[in-house]
Amino acid sequence: MASPLSSTLGIWLVAQLLQAILYGMGLLQVYLYFIWYPTDRWFTKTGVILITVFETAQTGLFFGASYEFFINGFGQFGPNTKIPWEAKAQLLALTLSTFVAQEYFAHTLFLIGNRRIIYPLFVALLGVASLGAGIAQATILFTVQIFAELGKTSAALNTQAATALACDFCITVGLCWRLNTSRTSIQSTTSINRGFFTMLFAMLNIILWVTKPEAFYFLMMNTMCGKFYMNSMLAILNTREHAHSLGRVGTLASASFAMNPLHGSRARMEPIGVNVTVAEETVHDRVEDTKYIITREGGGF
């Protein structure tokens, strides 16, 4: 027979395990970022520091709430159990972390869109709306004393999850649309991969809260989103040079294939001179087309 706590504290423990794994992956990426890109601008470094601080606080507070449940309140969990303040505070840290990542990607859209302001501003405003709804949810939650009263946060929770989902959808669509003119599908595929998990978990957060509000499934989706945001942001920052090298290889191959039919035997006899000339011009165009990948000299976003 399944434990009556499997859908509440059981899910809480699973969420703690999974987010701890993702947090460890994020810390590794933070370490690699500061090793590989020490000359990035302070704007980018500040974003990395902030999201690391907020995710660290969220992870620590989540553990503190677990300690209250399983040690100080052992055997006392139920609908009338008092909600630990750590469980309320971790939600605020999660909201701030998500906001940092969303605004970073909004700024990225601004850079790769030839500094056109309308679409990135719309994405940024969605991020601000998500932040406001998240702060409202945390504020209401601090007035709630027991788990049976969690329904009071329903409107704010749904608004926060919906705006976060809309923001991430717009980020992914914006990146794919802007990079669709690239000669390879590397960046577009990366953009889809970047946004898939955050969109999926934001959607599941809403669905599970509406269908199973008495369980903690929605909470697991919510806490995982912050870690996915952290890892996706740092993954893009840390793979800039690798994406550059992939772009060069793809461009060289395309240039060789295109020139051989035109020049016939001359192309086979003089492949080096022809390929180098075309590759230099095309790589320059590609770098202009994918401004979101910034070299060490550029210093990041």
300 lies in some domain: no
132 lies in some domain: yes
Pair (253, 230) in one structural domain: no
Q: Does residue 264 come out as left (phi exceeding 0), alpha (psi in the -120 to 50 range) or beta?
A: left
3 lies in some domain: no
Pair (132, 277) in one structural domain: no
Pair (37, 110) in one structural domain: yes
Pair (222, 266) in one structural domain: no
19 lies in some domain: yes
Domain total of the chain: 2
Pair (223, 251) in one structural domain: no
User: H helices within 69-185, ranges in order?
Assistant: 85-112, 118-143, 154-179
Pair (162, 216) in one structural domain: yes
297 lies in some domain: no
142 lies in some domain: yes
301 lies in some domain: no
Those residues whose C-beta lies under 8 Å from the C-beta of residue 212, and which sit 6 or more positions away, are: 7, 218
**What is the full per-residue pLDDT of the chain (301 aa) written as tens digits?**
556 678 888 899 999 999 999 999 999 999 999 999 999 889 899 999 999 999 999 999 999 999 998 888 787 787 778 899 999 999 999 999 999 999 999 988 888 777 788 999 999 999 999 999 999 999 999 999 888 888 888 888 889 889 988 998 898 888 777 666 554 444 545 555 566 777 888 888 888 888 888 888 888 888 888 899 999 899 888 887 765 555 544 433 333 333 344 444 434 444 434 333 334 444 444 444 444 444 343 444 4
Residue 283 lies in domain: 244-289
Q: What CATH code is carried by the domain that includes residue 37? A: 1.20.1070
Pair (147, 125) in one structural domain: yes
Tokens of 71: 């040690």
Pair (251, 154) in one structural domain: no
Pair (181, 57) in one structural domain: yes
* Neighbour count for residue 125 (Cβ, 10 Å): 13
Q: Map residue 82 onto helix, strand or coil.
A: strand
Q: Map residue 146 onto helix, strand or coil.
A: strand
299 lies in some domain: no
